[in-house]
């Protein structure tokens, strides 16, 4: 009996060993097949990718499509600066508001209404991008911007159609500047370069505005410049319609990929659920994927899965507070500290000129090195330098023009670097499915930060002084550095 049992046990062990060997052989074959498919896909991806000025584009993204990143940013910057500056001139000429105090009051109220409106609508605009697609939304934005630019100088009432048009232009210009095109079209290892080139395109838009449209206003009627801008927006809309691609369009099979069908079909036979999942995903847009609430909820889930996005919201809240400093507080500090009127004008002109030039120059070496630098390094460097330079006026009570000029330049450079660090970390952590709504959340905290600092600046400047407002923002930078220790800023969401 024992002999028969021993023989049966040996037979079972032999069969088990053969079964394990067969499973291992099948596993090796599966791994070999999968590795062959991956290698083929990588080779095909390299063959199908292009680049613009060293920025590597994703597979199946053409040069004209990649250029939309910089065209949209350039024209968005142009329309923002043009409308912001010319609106006050339009109020004075069109509505004959010649009293400076009344003009400042109306302009300030309109700006506050714009900020509050942006807080309310930013997440909604982001959801629209995810539901209707990049091409449709941006094309409509440029068409509407052109029509509204043509109408603005012909508006009848300050607090009705003029205000409504200004609000719509502000919302659409913000959506042009803050979009999802970089993570949509640029490979992960080139996002840093794309961020810098996008900043350069914004500078170009700012430079084009006074060169072209201000000279047109001085040489002809004011509405001619609005009409020319409207035509430019319309032509750009046509270009965008034919060249912008949605992320779903880029993942479709390329014609050259047909040769890989036999290889990939082996994987689909072994893992049939992959094909089923892809088919189901492609059939979802009608209801669940295109639902407004579904997209909004999807963005919330993405923020919970990737805590760095929440940190980016906090960072944007603090970084964008610096806008108030750049627009008004610097000039007030110069005026209150320097008594000679001629010196005041010279210092204001010098600081504005040098800040713009230095902010541009400091980003040139970043084109080559930003993608090689850890995001945590540039984040720490930028926020520490901004925090120190903002606290400096409180620690060193010197009212000389040299000290004020150097301090403002340091703050300006630090502001530039914090913006770069914010864009770099944020763009590298955007998910494919919910980029629009996440950008909308980012805009929400941006304008919430602007509104918060306006409140601090308005109500606390009389208590803590102008330098105290600087120090308040500098302390927030230092606190943000402490909070950042809890997050892995070098994380890449691929």
Q: What is the mean pLDDT of the chain?
A: 81
- Percent of the chain exceeding pLDDT 70 equals 78
What pLDDT does residue 322 have?
Answer: 77
Two structure tokens written together for 389: 């330079």
- Percent of the chain exceeding pLDDT 90 equals 40
What pLDDT does residue 480 have?
Answer: 96
Please tell me the distance from the alpha carbon of residue 387 to that of residue 480, in angstroms, as a whole number. 10
Residue 253: pLDDT over 70 = no
Q: What totals of helices (H) and strands (E) does the chain contain, helices first?
A: 21, 2
DSSP 161: I
Q: How does strand 51-52 pair with strand 55-56?
A: antiparallel
Instruction: Return the top range by mean pLDDT from 7-16, 91-100, 469-478.
Output: 469-478
What pLDDT does residue 366 have?
Answer: 92
* CA–CA–CA angle 195, 126, 174 (5° rounding): 55
What pLDDT does residue 252 have?
Answer: 56
Please tell me the distance from the alpha carbon of residue 444 to that of residue 430, in angstroms, as a whole number. 16
Confidence of residue 287 (pLDDT cuts 50, 70, 90): very low
Please tell me the distance from the alpha carbon of residue 145 to that of residue 114, in angstroms, as a whole number. 16
Please tell me the distance from the alpha carbon of residue 74 to that of residue 69, in angstroms, as a whole number. 9
Q: Which residue has the higher pLDDT, 211 or 108?
A: 108
Q: Which of 348, 338, 446, 444 is nearest to 398 (CA)?
A: 338
What pLDDT does residue 92 have?
Answer: 83
Say how many CA atoms lie within 13 Å of 269 toward its Cβ: 8
Two structure tokens written together for 289: 């994927």
Q: What is the pTM of this model?
A: 0.80
CA torsion sign for 123, 125, 126, 132 is positive
Residue 20: pLDDT over 60 = no
Average pLDDT of span 319-337? 76
What pLDDT does residue 158 have?
Answer: 92
Average pLDDT of span 227-231? 88
Q: Which domains does the chain have, with CATH numbers?
A: 61-248 (1.20.1250.20), 292-494 (1.20.1250.20)
Task: Average the pLDDT over each of 181-190, 205-214, 303-312, 344-353 and give the range with the smallest value.
Answer: 205-214
Evaluate whether 150 touches 79 at the Cβ level (below 8 Å): no
Average pLDDT of span 92-98? 83
Residue 4: pLDDT over 60 = no
- The answer for residues whose C-beta is within 8 angstroms of residue 78's C-beta and 6 or more apart is 205, 206, 208, 209, 229
């Amino acid at each position: 009996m024992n002999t028969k049992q021993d023989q049966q046990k040996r037979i079972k062990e032999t069969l088990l060993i053969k079964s394990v060997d067969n499973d291992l052989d099948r596993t090796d074959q599966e791994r070999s097949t999968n590795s062959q498919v991956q290698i083929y896909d990588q080779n095909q991806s390299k063959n199908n990718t292009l680049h613009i000025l060293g920025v590597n584009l994703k597979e199946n993204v053409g040069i004209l499509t990649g250029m939309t990143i910089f065209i949209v940013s350039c024209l968005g910057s142009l329309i923002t600066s043009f409308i912001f500056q010319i609106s006050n001139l339009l109020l004075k000429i069109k509505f004959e508001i010649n009293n400076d105090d009344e003009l400042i009051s109306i302009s300030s109220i309109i700006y506050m209404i714009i900020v509050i409106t942006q807080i309310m609508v930013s997440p909604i605009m982001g959801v629209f991008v995810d539901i209707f697609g990049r091409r449709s939304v941006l094309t409509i934005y440029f068409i509407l911007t052109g029509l509204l630019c043509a109408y603005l100088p012909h508006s009848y009432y300050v607090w009705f159609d003029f205000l409504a048009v200004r609000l719509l232009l502000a919302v659409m210009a913000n959506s042009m500047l803050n979009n999802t095109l970089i993570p949509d079209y640029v490979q992960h290892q080139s996002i840093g370069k794309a961020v810098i080139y996008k900043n350069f395109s914004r500078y170009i838009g700012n430079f084009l505005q006074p060169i072209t449209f201000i000279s047109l206003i001085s040489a002809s009627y004011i509405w001619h410049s609005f009409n020319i801008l409207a035509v430019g927006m319309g032509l750009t809309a046509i270009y965008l319609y034919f060249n912008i691609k949605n992320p779903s369009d880029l993942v479709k099979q390329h014609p050259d990929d047909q040769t890989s069908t036999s290889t990939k079909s082996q994987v689909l036979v072994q893992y049939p659920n992959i094909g089923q999942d892809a088919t189901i995903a492609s059939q979802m847009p009608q209801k669940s994927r295109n639902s407004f609430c579904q997209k909004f909820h999807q963005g919330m889930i993405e923020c919970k899965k990737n805590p760095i996005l929440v940190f980016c919201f906090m960072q944007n809240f603090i970084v964008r507070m610096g806008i108030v400093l750049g627009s008004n507080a610097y000039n007030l500090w110069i005026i209150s500290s320097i008594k000679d009127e001629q010196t005041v004008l010279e210092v204001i002109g010098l600081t504005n000129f040098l800040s713009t030039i230095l902010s541009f120059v400091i980003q040139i070496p970043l084109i080559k090195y930003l993608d090689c630098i850890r995001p945590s390094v540039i984040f720490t460097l930028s926020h520490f330098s901004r925090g120190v330079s903002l606290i400096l006026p409180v620690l060193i009570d010197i009212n000389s023009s040299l000290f004020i000029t150097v301090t403002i330049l340091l703050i300006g450079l630090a502001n530039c670097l914090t913006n770069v660090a914010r864009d770099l970390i944020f763009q590298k952590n955007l998910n494919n499915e919910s980029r629009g709504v996440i950008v909308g959340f980012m805009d929400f905290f941006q304008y919430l930060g602007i509104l918060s600092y306006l409140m601090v600046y308005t109500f606390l400047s009389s208590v803590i002084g102008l330098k105290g407002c600087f120090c308040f923002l500098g302390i927030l930078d230092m606190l943000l550095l402490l909070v950042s220790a809890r997050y892995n800023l070098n994380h890449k969401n691929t």
